[in-house]
């Protein structure tokens, strides 16, 4: 017995390692990046140590000024000033310039450093600049997580809303949630009758219909979305058709609108709603419907009181699948959606590739993960009883 | 006699246009009776039941319930209770909700539903089970609930489609008693489908034996067992020894090994080929066989002890598979010995050979 267990563990070990290596570790690292704060401590170790002991009341001691001048110059020399400049600039716009200017000043800065640094830039004479450096000393920060919710810390360290004209992420998350819920609702409503029809079809036709549902999987999401891009263009067939049947008089701008995003997402995700529903429905015993009929229920009553509740686990599974995928979908909304109507994923990609701000990307990812988890948990709670009942012995 | 509750008139069912699953069926179900449709699988008994319930349409003919034609009425307006083999209790409802389902469909007041549900649970001896889910009940309990659900809206007719097929022997016998009791108590008409002949004999007022889409015989349990109408009925209900024979005169027949057997008078012409059916439990052995017209000596090939009786395989009438059932007694012949064997004339049923 013990031997078999050992052997079994050995057999699944590669798979386990694969899951840990390719799934758990990246997710964990990403989540960690959302709170990690090591740029300043790495580039300015002495400054950080001195600032850690500073009470923050007035200006820090001369030693801190000396250390920051020396370490900034060294960091510039060794070409690793980028990270810390980027990090501090995220704290307040303009700090990048301050740090770079100070680093370039190099030998021109002489003791007493308090005087020469303030002479170089008056901001060194403000305790707020030093407070920001102190706060960025790490090893962890709530800055990214706060900022991803449009929150920030005031000079006294209290959490507060960012100014209204800088607000972005709250609306972004609400928009992502709304679009995903809308896509989920549309997919569920469209998929249910399709799954029902496929289930009721006779032998060869049901497999044909199921194959038709699966055909979109034969091409990549990118190809399918690009197809929408072509179809929805100003001079594209959709506009032509709408004008042709007299609904439109002039070509409409469809690309870049919410409608285009919904269209592309629903198209890509519909099979993910149909398949779980179909699989639950095929396992539903038709005798339930016969029993309901023999007990006096007409077609409508049979559907609403027997078939629908029994197929709800499929609806929940399909809906959850579509919601999860649509929350994380990048290609389709990025291609056909408008610049001002993008989803969280687009910002994550942007932070990673353009701004090289992994902290923000990670914080947004963490919230996205939490949001998906919350919705799935909610679905489970709401349909818990039904799912249990539906899983018949 | 009052008018029958159900009438099948020339009902035919075919799926492919030429194979008749049910062929020219004429059957009356009397008010209050327990009628069993008995037959092997594919004999048309379940199709007949499903046509009555409304889940299958007859290809031709008509079905009447209480004098009114119902084969064009959809199942939910027929008011017939149905008990299914796999119980078909709704898994998303509690036992009480299952029972309340037909009543709430009929828009009965809540208080009435509650009291009826209560009474129904008591009738099937499951009081206090109302809040359970069907999947928390045993198979026997589920079938009791299914029975209660089919009865709770007081249908005139209840159909049972092999309801005990999935249960073990002991539970089956227990529920058979239960069904009999409920039938007697409520006086409701029941039509019961089974392939188990023992079950049919236990339960039924009348049995309709089905084969190949036709009723082979319709009669009481005693009639179909003691006086089978044809070799199929004789073979399907109870065990029997089948012997080929040629008619000598009105009572005597010659068997394959040349011996002569006397039966009760039959109407086959002399020289005709006949098929004899002899029930194993009616053959006498040893002292009991002495003085019988059809007496012989036979060799015991095999003895199987079955508790309440023993089953003997004898070499007789040119065959080695002549079965005799011997009630429990002290002296059971040993294999290899010779025994006296006697067949009463009344135990020989004569059919014309095909």
Q: Can you name the residues that pair with B252 across neighbouring β-strands?
A: B262
State the nearest Cα–Cα gap between B29 and chain A, in angstroms: 19
Do B163 and B47 fall into the same domain?
A: yes
State the nearest Cα–Cα gap between B70 and chain A, in angstroms: 14
Coil, helix or strand at residue A256: coil
Compute the distance between CA of residue A255 and CA of residue A261 in angstroms, rounded to an integer.
8
Answer whether B65's CB lies under 8 Å from B4's CB: no
Q: What digits encode the pLDDT tens for the residues B11-60?
A: 999 988 888 899 989 999 999 999 999 999 889 999 999 999 999 999 99
Do B220 and B135 fall into the same domain?
A: yes
CATH number for B32? 3.40.50.300
- pLDDT score of A96: 84
Compute the distance between CA of residue A262 and CA of residue A337 in angstroms, rounded to an integer.
9
- How many of the other CB atoms lie within 10 Å of CB of B120? 25
Compute the distance between CA of residue A364 and CA of residue A230 in angstroms, rounded to an integer.
31
Please, what is the end-to-end C-alpha distance for chain A in angstroms? 29
Q: Do the Cβ atoms of A293 and B54 come within 8 Å?
A: yes
* Domain around B280: 239-352
- B214/A contact by beta carbon, under 8 A: no
B64-78, B97-111, B251-265: least confident range: B251-265
Largest CA distance in chain A: 98
A127-141, A186-200, B121-135, B330-344: least confident range: A127-141
Average pLDDT over residues A325-350: 85
- B109/A contact by beta carbon, under 8 A: no
pLDDT exceeds cutoff 70 at A155? no
A–B interface: beta-carbon pairs under 8 A: 74
Q: Do the Cβ atoms of B92 and A301 come within 8 Å?
A: no
Looking at chain A from residue 305 to 344, which residues have their Cβ under 8 Å from any Cβ of chain B? 305-306, 309-310
Q: Can you name the residues that pair with B34 across neighbouring β-strands?
A: B190
Please give the residue of chain B at the shortest CA–CA distance from A297. Answer: B76
Q: What digits encode the pLDDT tens for the residues B182-211?
A: 999 999 999 999 999 889 999 999 999 999
Percentage of chain B beyond pLDDT 90 is 50
Tell me whether residue B1 is in a domain: no
Answer whether B246's CB lies under 8 Å from B271's CB: yes
Instruction: Classify residue B56 by its DSSP letter.
Output: S
- pLDDT score of A387: 45
Tell me whether residue B290 is in a domain: yes
Q: What digits encode the pLDDT tens for the residues B204-240?
A: 999 999 999 999 999 999 999 988 888 899 989 888 8
Question: What tokens appear for A86 in the block?
Answer: 């980027």
CATH number for B324? 2.40.50.100
Tell me whether residue B77 is in a domain: yes
Average pLDDT over residues A298-315: 91
- pLDDT score of B162: 92
Do B280 and B150 fall into the same domain?
A: no
Do B62 and B183 fall into the same domain?
A: yes
Do B230 and B205 fall into the same domain?
A: yes
Do B185 and B161 fall into the same domain?
A: yes
State the nearest Cα–Cα gap between B82 and chain A, in angstroms: 6
Do B274 and B298 fall into the same domain?
A: yes
* Domain count across chain B: 2
What are the residues whose beta carbons fall under 8 Å from the beta carbon of A339, sequence distance 6 or more? Answer: A256
Boundary of a domain, candidates B216, B235, B254: B235
- A298/B contact by beta carbon, under 8 A: yes
Compute the distance between CA of residue B165 and CA of residue B159 in angstroms, rounded to an integer.
15
Q: Do the Cβ atoms of B86 and A292 come within 8 Å?
A: no
Residue B81: what are its φ and ψ, rounded to 5°? -80, 140
Do B23 and B55 fall into the same domain?
A: yes
- How many of the other CB atoms lie within 10 Å of CB of B16? 7
Domain boundaries, chain A: 39-141, 169-390
Compute the distance between CA of residue A101 and CA of residue A98 in angstroms, rounded to an integer.
5
Q: Can you name the residues that pair with A159 across neighbouring β-strands?
A: A153
CB-nearest partner of B105 from A285, A301, A309: A301
Average pLDDT over residues A210-228: 85
Average pLDDT over residues A16-23: 89
Do B228 and B258 fall into the same domain?
A: no
Identify the CA nearest to B215 among candidates B353, B75, B29.
B29
Compute the distance between CA of residue A341 and CA of residue A323 in angstroms, rounded to an integer.
18
Please give the residue of chain A at the shortest CA–CA distance from B56. Answer: A290
Do B103 and B33 fall into the same domain?
A: yes
Boundary of a domain, candidates B201, B235, B269: B235
Compute the distance between CA of residue B78 and CA of residue A296 in angstroms, rounded to an integer.
8
Tell me whether residue B139 is in a domain: yes
Q: Which residue has the higher pLDDT, A386 or B297?
A: B297
State the nearest Cα–Cα gap between A387 and chain B, in angstroms: 9
- pLDDT score of B1: 56
- pLDDT score of A246: 82
Largest CA distance in chain B: 77
- pLDDT score of A1: 55
Please give the residue of chain B at the shortest CA–CA distance from A286. Answer: B88
Class of domain A169-390: mainly alpha
Sign of the dihedral through C-alpha A60, A61, A65, A68: negative
Boundary of a domain, candidates B205, B235, B265: B235
The answer to whether ipTM exceeds 0.85 is no
Compute the distance between CA of residue B22 and CA of residue B212 in angstroms, rounded to an integer.
8
Do B128 and B211 fall into the same domain?
A: yes
Do B77 and B93 fall into the same domain?
A: yes
Compute the distance between CA of residue A49 and CA of residue A139 in angstroms, rounded to an integer.
12
């Amino acid at each position: 017995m013990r031997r078999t267990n050992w052997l079994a563990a050995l057999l699944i070990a590669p798979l386990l390692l694969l899951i840990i290596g390719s799934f758990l570790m990246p997710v964990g690292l990403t989540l960690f990046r959302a709170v990690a704060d090591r740029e300043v401590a790495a580039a300015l170790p002495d400054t950080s140590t001195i600032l850690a002991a500073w009470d923050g009341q007035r200006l820090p001691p001369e030693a801190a000024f000396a250390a920051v001048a020396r370490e900034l110059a060294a960091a510039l020399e060794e070409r690793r000033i980028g990270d810390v400049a980027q990090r501090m600039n995220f704290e307040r716009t303009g700090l990048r310039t301050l740090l770079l200017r100070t680093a370039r000043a190099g030998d021109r800065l002489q003791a007493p450093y308090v005087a020469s640094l303030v002479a170089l830039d008056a901001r060194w004479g403000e305790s707020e600049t030093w407070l920001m450096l102190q706060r960025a000393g790490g090893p962890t920060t709530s800055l990214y997580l706060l900022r991803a919710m449009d929150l920030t810390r005031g000079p006294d360290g209290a959490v507060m809303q960012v100014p209204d004209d800088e607000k972005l992420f709250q609306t972004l998350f609400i928009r992502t949630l709304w679009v995903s819920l809308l896509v989920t609702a549309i997919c569920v409503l469209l998929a249910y009758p399709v799954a029902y029809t496929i289930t009721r079809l006779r032998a060869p036709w049901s497999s044909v219909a199921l194959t038709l549902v699966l055909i979109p999987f034969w091409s990549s999401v990118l190809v399918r979305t690009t197809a929408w891009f072509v179809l929805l263009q100003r001079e594209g067939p959709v506009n032509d058709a709408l004008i042709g049947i007299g609904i439109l008089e002039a070509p409409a701008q469809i690309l870049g609108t919410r409608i285009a995003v919904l269209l592309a997402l629903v198209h890509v995700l519909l099979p993910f709603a149909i398949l779980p529903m179909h699989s639950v429905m095929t396992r539903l015993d038709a005798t339930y419907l016969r029993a309901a009929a023999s007990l006096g229920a007409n077609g409508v009553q049979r559907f609403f009181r027997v078939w629908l509740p029994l197929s709800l686990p499929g609806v929940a599974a399909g809906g959850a699948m579509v919601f999860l995928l649509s929350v994380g979908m990048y290609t389709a909304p990025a291609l056909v959606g408008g610049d001002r109507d993008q989803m969280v994923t687009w910002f994550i990609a942007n932070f990673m590739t353009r701004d090289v701000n992994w902290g923000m990307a990670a914080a947004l990812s963490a919230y996205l993960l939490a949001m998906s988890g919350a919705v799935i948990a909610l679905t489970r709670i709401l349909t818990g009883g039904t799912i249990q009942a539906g899983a018949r012995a | 006699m009052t008018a029958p509750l159900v009438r099948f008139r020339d009902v035919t069912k075919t799926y492919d246009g030429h194979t008749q699953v049910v062929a020219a069926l004429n059957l009356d179900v009397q008010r209050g009776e327990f009628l069993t449709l008995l037959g092997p699988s594919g004999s048309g008994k379940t199709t007949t039941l499903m046509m009555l319930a409304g889940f299958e349409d007859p290809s031709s003919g008509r079905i009447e319930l209480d004098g009114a034609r119902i084969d064009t009425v959809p199942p939910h307006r027929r008011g017939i209770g149905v008990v299914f083999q796999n119980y078909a209790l709704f898994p998303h409802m509690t036992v009480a909700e299952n029972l309340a389902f037909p009543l709430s469909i009929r828009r009965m007041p809540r208080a009435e539903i509650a009291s009826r549900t209560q009474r129904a649970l008591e009738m099937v001896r499951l009081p206090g089970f109302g809040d359970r889910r069907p999947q928390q009940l045993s198979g026997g309990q589920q079938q009791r609930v299914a029975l209660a659900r089919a009865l709770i809206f007081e249908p005139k007719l209840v159909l049972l489609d092999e309801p005990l097929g999935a249960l073990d022997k002991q539970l089956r016998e227990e529920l058979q008693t239960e069904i009999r009791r409920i039938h007697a108590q409520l006086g409701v008409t029941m039509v019961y489908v089974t392939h188990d002949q023992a079950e049919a004999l236990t339960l039924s007022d009348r049995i309709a034996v089905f084969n190949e889409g036709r009723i082979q015989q319709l009669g009481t349990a005693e009639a179909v067992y003691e006086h089978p109408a044809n070799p199929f009925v004789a073979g399907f209900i109870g065990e029997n020894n089948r012997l080929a024979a040629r008619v000598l005169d009105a009572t005597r027949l010659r068997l394959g090994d040349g011996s002569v057997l006397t039966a009760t008078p039959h109407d086959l012409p002399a020289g005709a080929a006949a098929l004899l059916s002899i029930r194993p439990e009616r053959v006498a052995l040893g002292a009991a066989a002495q003085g019988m017209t059809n007496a012989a000596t036979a060799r015991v090939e095999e003895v199987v002890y079955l508790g309440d009786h023993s089953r003997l395989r004898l070499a007789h009438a040119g065959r080695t598979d002549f079965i005799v059932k011997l009630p429990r007694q002290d002296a059971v012949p040993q294999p290899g010995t010779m025994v006296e064997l006697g067949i009463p004339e009344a135990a020989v049923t004569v059919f014309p050979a095909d």
